[in-house]
Every structure is written in C-alpha cells, then in structure tokens.
Chain A
Amino acid sequence: MELLCPAGSMPALKAAIEHGADAVYIGLKDDTNARHFAGLNFDQAKLKDAARFVHQHGKKLHVAINTFAHPNNYQRWQQAVDMAADAGADVLILADIAVLAYAAARYPKIERHLSVQASATNAPAIDFYRQFGISRVVLPRVLSMQQVRALARSCEIDLEVFAFGSLCIMAEGRCYLSSYMTGQSPNTAGACSPAAFVQWQDNKGTLESRLNGILIDRFAPNETAGYPTLCKGRFSVGNDTYHALEEPTSLNTLDLLPELYAEGIKSLKIEGRQRSPAYVAQITKVWRAAIDAVMSTPERFNVQPQWQQVLAGLSEGSQTTLGAYHRKWK
C-alpha cells in the first residue's frame, strides 16, 4: 500500500520524501492542473530537480495534468505531458480524453493514472478509460466504503483513494459551482472558489466572507473564520440557516485503514498541494506510521490517539469526517 503525498513546492516535496512518502504528486506552474494557485507548483527546471530528488531516494514522482484542455491552446496540455515525460516523471495523472489519448500514443511506457477529475465512479466508466491504457484509477470522494469494496473486488485495476485532506463533496470533474459564481472552475481554470474573488468585510464585529460579491458566511467574534469555499458556506433553506451542503471539515480515513488495506487498495492519497512544507511533513509522518502498522500486523491495528490529535490539528475547522465512505454522511 503506497503513501502518495502532495507537494506544491520543492521544500514540501523534500518534506514528504524525508518523512516517509512512497511517492509524491505535483503540478506544473499553469492551469494544466487542478491546484493552479499563485506561488505554487513547478516550472520546467524545478520539475527536473523534483524528479532527480525523488529518484535519488528511490521514490516515485506523479505529475498531475488533470484539467481539461482549451480549444485554442490545446498544445499547452500536450507540452505539459512532454515536459513531465522529459523530466522523468514516473506517472502522469490525467483526466481529459484527448490528453489521455496523446500520452498513451506518445509515451506508452509512462504509467497513466486516471485522475479523480475524470469522475469514474463505476465499473463501466473504468472500462471506458481502459482504452487509453490506464493502470490505476483515483476514485472520487462520493463513494461509500461498500461501493469502494465492490469496485475493488470487481475491477482488475489498481485503485487509489483519498485518505486525508480537504473534502470535495461533489463528484469531482463534474462540479460547475465555482464557475457559476466566479467564471472559473476546476475543469477550466484549475481552481475552485479562486482567491482573487474572495473578500472579507468586518460588519460591526461580524466577519463576512464573500465570493465574487456573494455572501458565503458570517462569523461571530468567537468563531473561527474559514476560507469561503462556496460549498462550505452557511446558507438559508426554508427557515433554517446552516451549512446547506457541507460543514468546513476534512476527510480523515484512519479508522478505515484496515478495511482499505484488506481490499487491496493500492495507494492512499493525501490531499493538499496548496499546504505548507510543515503541514506535509506532519501529515506524512502520521500516515507513514499508520500504514506501517497496518501492513505489519493488520489484525492488531489500532488508531493511535496521538495520530488523531495531530490530524485534527491540521484539519479544516479542527473537524474531520469519514465523508461518503460512511453511509450515514450521505
């Protein structure tokens, strides 16, 4: 079982490797990946440095090229694939059918993983993408553990699941809420609820967060104010004002680890390429310890309280959830 950690910079990548990641995933410094944030990600030279560092340590580098190519500059997505291949990436994480087809034809020997942004939630969808020679599928965070288990048992392909981090509650790659409010979406711009559209306003002691002018939430002085990701705001439905879609909370699957291991899940992905090197270091350390424990004696696996403590401290709103893996969440 692989531990796959995020890195938005060289220091984060080094932190991941030094604290026990088996592989690291990164993106290029443009909108060809779903974490297109200012000051984040790797240019061509840094990409080569990243590959060199990861390979010196005997680990693997995955490069996410997982937005959908635009019609007028499709070449940029091709060039991203070329650049990753040239730098020595071990894996390309892809979502667009066109980019998958290009990578399969041009670089058949570089492993292709189906990005969560391709939104493959069922066996025929996975079958569909097999025509592009994918070797692994990253499952969307809308499936229950029961559904993950069914896929693991019925599909002869490696599966990767999200283990920890920010929780997308919609089927990834098919959510247009962000472009509805801002004109920019993960699919087209590589960003959800982009920072350029965020406004904070103090209104007589109440802090208001807005996204492109729309009020996402109001925080009383004693409340912790979270980033206005639009699906995690407090809105009114009928006579109630509440988190109509989802609370600000992080996904945490530590409790499910023995089950995921028993089902042969190939890789656990930690979300958070936008996070700091210190965050990546702490998260990686906890998950390394947990995976080592489950692999050595799965029947005696116990979640250590100090692991949960560290993870809770690194979570949105200090809350964690099993998300859709747990049926009751739905």
Chain B
Amino acid sequence: MQFSLGPVLYFWPKAQMLEFYRQVADSDIDIVYLGETVCSKRRELKFDDYMALAQMLREAGKQVCLSSMTLYEAPGELRELRKYVDNGEFLVEANDVGAISMLQQQSLPFVAGAAINCYNQHTLRQLVGMGLTRWVMPVELSGHWLSEVLQQSLIGDIRDCFSTEVFGFGHLPLAWSGRCFTARSENRSKDQCELCCINYPQGREVKSQDGTQVFVLNGIQTQSGQRYNLVNQLNTMQGLVDIVRLSPQLSGTFDWLAKFKANINGKAPQPLPATDSNGYWLNLAGMATG
C-alpha cells in the first residue's frame, strides 16, 4: 500500500505553501498531487511555481501528479487547464471530464479524481479505454461498493491497467458551486471577494443552530464538517486499495501519515477524535462513525 498527499484544498500564502512542500520533500510520502483544484482566482502559486515544486519533489524521490480543477466555467480557466495537460512531464489528475477530453485527444494517461462520476465497472472500463491509469473513487462510495466494482468479470482482464486510490484522511470535498460561500460569509459578492479565503487556512466552520459542525466552507467548495479518517480501516483495504490519500490539513498531516503507516496491518489502531468520521467507507452516512 502506498500513501499519497492530495492537493492543498485551501488557499495558503505562497511562503506557507513553499514551506509545506519542503516538509513534504523530507517526508516518506510516496505520491504528491499538486495544483489549485478549487478556484481559479487563487493565484499565490502560478503554473510555473507548481512545475518548479513538482520538479523539486521528483528529485526528492516522489511520484508527482498535477491536479486540475473540478469546476471549469470560463475560457481563462480552460487555458490554464491546457497548460496542465501540455506540461510534458507529469501525470495529470482530471477532476472534470473536460480535462479527460483534452488528455484523451493527446493520448495521455490520466488519473480520474474523486469528482469524476465513475460508479460502476462499465464506466470504469470505458475510462480505462480512454487512458485512465489510476482511479480515485467518488468519496461517497463504500469499501463494499469498491469491492463489488472490482469483482466484476468485466474488470478481470483490465485490473492490471490501473491502480485504485481512496480519499482516506481530511475534510471531504462534497460540493462545488457557482457561488463563493466564503465571500458570502463576509457579505461580499464573488466578484468582490478580495480573496478573503486566504484568511481561513482551514476553511470556515458551519455549525447547526444547536452547535453540531456540519460543513466547512472553502470558497466555492463545501467540505464535510467532520474530518474523514480511515486510519483504522487500512487492514480491510488489502487487495482492494493500492493508494490511500491524505488531504493536507493546516497541522498534523505528517503525524497522521506516520499513524497511517504504522497501522497498515491493523497493529496500531488509533482512537478517533469525536470530530472524525469514517461513515462512507462503512456504507453509512458520511458523517457517521462506525
């Protein structure tokens, strides 16, 4: 089992990003995803900065993949996507079928991210035919669902063509909107957002009126209120999951990586904080803990 570090989903200042990736280079993570996946207005790091980071991380022995955005609406955003597709060196993670379309046209392999709607063996087989080499299943699916897809005879002869990856740690990206909810929370319109999400390096908490944390606002993205944490499910993933993804958090990411690595075989289980959940993997509501 390998471990990957997802793209930073929040908007962090450039210096903080560079410092974070210096730590990543020194860590024993296997795979690193880089790129802005949420909002095209976030420009602390530009495409060339991500490429420089990608090269630095590759030299540090990491497999690097460039992550593209989930919601493409404007021509300028598609020009940026074109740069990712044409980068010439690194694998690209598609989070919108528009990216798959561009990659497919150039016969390039791709990772289908969790926001690509691949729910069954027939769709998976189609995507493999188009160049998919790694499949990150939608976050709402369970371990049981994954095993049902992989057990189908339709997958038998192509199982060697792709690896499987599961989002295993961090606040889950659950929805994307035309509207920016962080700007709305400050009574600003999206056009006048002044990039206020940079003030919320772990998003803004949304609580129910009786105090339960329900969501986290991260610009146009809505995340789970609970932090998803599959540290105690790793031993049930054998033969099913090749890569487990940790989504960068403001603090503690590398400590949790160590805990995940120590518990691959279930020998070092971790008590889950009350703010963590694992429901989706266990075929429950996502916010539940089993």
Contact = CB atoms under 8 A, between A and B. Distances in A.
Interface of A: 68-72, 74, 95-98, 101-102, 118-125, 127-129, 141-144, 147, 150, 169-171, 173-177, 179-183, 185, 187-188, 212, 214-218, 231, 233-238, 240-241, 244-246, 324, 327-330
Nearest to A98: B122
Given A98-B126, A216-B208, A233-B208, 16 more contacts: A70-B119, A71-B145, A74-B120, A97-B117, A119-B117, A142-B71, A142-B179, A169-B177, A171-B177, A175-B175, A180-B172, A212-B285, A235-B206, A235-B207, A237-B207, A244-B185
Give the most central of B74, B118, B189, B205: most A CB within 10 Å.
Answer: B74
A329 B189 CA distance: 7
B175 A143 contact: no
B32 interface: no
Given A171-B176, A237-B204, A129 B145 contact: no
Nearest to A234: B209
A69 B175 contact: no
Contacts of B180: 330
A96 B124 CA distance: 11
A173 B102 CA distance: 21
Interface string B171-197: 010111111110011000111000000
Interface in B211-249: 212, 214-215, 217, 222, 224
Contacts of A231: 175
A114 B152 CA distance: 27
A120 to B, nearest CB: 7
B208 A123 contact: no
Given A68-B117, A70-B119, A171 B98 contact: no
B209 A121 contact: no
Given A180-B172, A180-B224, A245-B222, A171 B208 contact: no
A167 B238 CA distance: 42
Given A72-B148, A177-B222, A180-B172, A129 B119 contact: no
A218 B205 CA distance: 19
Nearest to A77: B120
Given A128-B100, A170-B222, A180-B172, A214 B212 contact: yes
Contacts of A235: 206-209, 214-215
A236 B215 CA distance: 10
Contacts of A128: 97-98, 100-101, 104
A68 to B, nearest CB: 4
Contacts of A102: 122
Contacts of A74: 120-122
A44 B140 CA distance: 31
B119 A187 contact: yes
